[in-house]
């Protein structure tokens, strides 16, 4: 017989191994069995109009088994993380992964968040004891787990706590910036809605001034978004901007703090201070915009009374 050489280099010391990397996070293993659903028929009395069926309004909605809900509680029994996944169709043993982080907050974006979007991940949890719950339909499994730092690295608890506290501060600052930009996006939608209403009116000349103010307000909103994110780059391929955006200073500070293996030093303090100066200046401009320009625009549009209802004259049929 003849043995076939594997696809690799010639020497054993240089053999190439291809395999799947281990997935990050805490691996949660669970066993699931799909419930047996019984087909039920609803009887109705055709002779009586408006008769109630067995599924009356007072009954609870049916229990669904289409998703797995994973919850994490800290030592104070506070819910700190919720992950919802589509339930696997097959029975048996399955796995899901938790990246050992808390519930996060929204991040600044030029786009509105998707409806029913997944809960964002946040700061990594501190070492300690946690309780996890797994919900599937009307069934719940509970287990306790212990989170520990890498035993190969000597890491004082004080360092982890200072790092955690600073990351939470940066997360809150990021959330304020996100709320400010979401306000601007919501205002753009209001502008576009009123613009459509005005253009639908018969007498266009009557609204020329307000349409001009629409354009000015829209430019100011886009300018404020550019102040936070930088101008939109519509180029394709690998591109680079000449100057960093305002919000990038916060991301840079967070990246430095996340990689710390010691207490935050002067470098991290300066990065946070620099980010605060940049972002707070834009937040101030956004607040001033809503105190003056947006308020004046709101009053002018509300005075127009652009109701979709028209007066209907009585018809005379002869």
Question: pLDDT of 67-97, one tens digit each?
Answer: 999 999 999 999 999 999 999 999 999 999 9
Q: What is the pLDDT of residue 284?
A: 95
Task: Please determine, for residue 49, whether its predicted confidence score (pLDDT) is greater than 50.
Answer: no
What whole-number distance in Å separates Cα of residue 112 and Cα of residue 219? 19
What whole-number distance in Å separates Cα of residue 130 and Cα of residue 102? 12
pLDDT category, 37, cuts 50, 70, 90?
low
Q: What is the pLDDT of residue 123?
A: 96
What whole-number distance in Å separates Cα of residue 198 and Cα of residue 18? 63
Q: What is the pLDDT of residue 25?
A: 87
What whole-number distance in Å separates Cα of residue 275 and Cα of residue 250? 5
What whole-number distance in Å separates Cα of residue 148 and Cα of residue 145? 10
What whole-number distance in Å separates Cα of residue 132 and Cα of residue 29? 12
pLDDT in tens, 13-26: 556 666 777 888 88
Strands in 13-127 per DSSP E: 26-32, 67-73, 79-86, 92-98, 101-103, 121-124
pLDDT, mean of residues 108-128? 91
pLDDT category, 247, cuts 50, 70, 90?
very high
Q: Which of 114-118, 182-186, 204-208, 223-227 has the lowest mean pLDDT?
A: 204-208
H/E stretch holding 158 reads helix 157-199
What whole-number distance in Å separates Cα of residue 293 and Cα of residue 298? 9
Q: Which of 7-11, 47-51, 59-63, 177-181 has the lowest mean pLDDT?
A: 47-51
Task: Please determine, for residue 315, whether its predicted confidence score (pLDDT) is greater than 80.
Answer: no
pLDDT in tens, 257-311: 999 999 999 999 999 999 999 999 999 999 999 999 999 988 888 777 665 556 6
Task: Please determine, for residue 214, whether its predicted confidence score (pLDDT) is greater than 90.
Answer: no
In angstroms, what CA-CA distances link 232 with 74, 106, 135, 240?
Answer: 41, 21, 43, 12
Q: What is the pLDDT of residue 199?
A: 79
pLDDT category, 9, cuts 50, 70, 90?
low
Q: What is the pTM of this model?
A: 0.79
Q: What is the pLDDT of residue 268?
A: 96
Task: Please determine, for residue 160, whether its predicted confidence score (pLDDT) is greater than 70.
Answer: yes
Contact 145, 74 (CB under 8 A): no
* Mean pLDDT (the chain, rounded): 84
What whole-number distance in Å separates Cα of residue 290 and Cα of residue 183? 10
Q: What is the pLDDT of residue 186?
A: 93
Task: Please determine, for residue 196, whether its predicted confidence score (pLDDT) is greater than 90.
Answer: no
pLDDT, mean of residues 204-208? 75
pLDDT category, 188, cuts 50, 70, 90?
very high
Q: What percent of the chain has pLDDT over 70?
A: 81
Task: Please determine, for residue 166, whether its predicted confidence score (pLDDT) is greater than 50.
Answer: yes
Contacts with 87 (C-beta within 8 Å, 6 or more apart), sequence order:
32, 65, 66, 67, 68, 136
Could you tell me which of 63, 105, 46 has the C-alpha nearest to residue 80? 105
């Amino acid at each position: 017989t003849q043995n076939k050489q594997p696809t690799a280099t010639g020497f054993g010391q240089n053999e190439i191994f291809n395999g799947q990397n281990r997935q990050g996070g805490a691996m949660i293993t669970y066993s699931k069995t799909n419930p047996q659903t019984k087909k039920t028929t609803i009887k109705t009395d055709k002779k009586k109009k408006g008769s109630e069926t067995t599924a009356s309004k007072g009954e609870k909605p049916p229990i669904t088994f289409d998703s797995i809900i994973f919850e994490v509680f800290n030592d104070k029994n506070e819910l700190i993380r919720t992950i919802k996944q589509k339930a696997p169709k097959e029975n048996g043993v399955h796995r899901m992964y938790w990246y050992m982080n808390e519930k996060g907050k929204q991040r600044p974006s030029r786009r509105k968040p998707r409806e029913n979007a997944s809960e964002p991940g946040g700061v990594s949890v501190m070492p300690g004891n946690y309780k996890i719950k797994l919900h599937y339909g009307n069934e719940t499994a509970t287990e306790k787990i212990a989170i520990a730092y890498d035993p190969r690295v000597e890491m004082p608890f004080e360092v982890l706590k200072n790092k955690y506290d600073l990351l939470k501060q940066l997360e809150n600052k990021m959330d304020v910036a996100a709320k400010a930009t979401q306000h601007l996006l919501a205002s753009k939608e209001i502008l576009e809605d009123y613009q459509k209403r005005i253009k639908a009116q018969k007498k266009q000349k009557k609204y020329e001034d307000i349409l001009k103010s629409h354009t000015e307000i829209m430019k100011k909103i886009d300018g404020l978004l550019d102040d936070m994110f930088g101008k939109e780059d519509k180029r394709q391929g690998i591109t680079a901007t000449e100057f960093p955006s305002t919000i990038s200073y916060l991301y840079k500070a967070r990246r430095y703090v996340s990689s710390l293996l010691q207490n935050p030093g002067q470098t991290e303090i300066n990065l946070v201070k620099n980010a605060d100066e940049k972002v707070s200046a834009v937040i101030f401009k956004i607040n001033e915009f809503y105190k003056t320009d947006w308020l004046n625009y709101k009053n002018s549009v509300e005075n127009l009374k652009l109701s979709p209802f028209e007066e209907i004259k009585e018809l005379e049929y002869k």
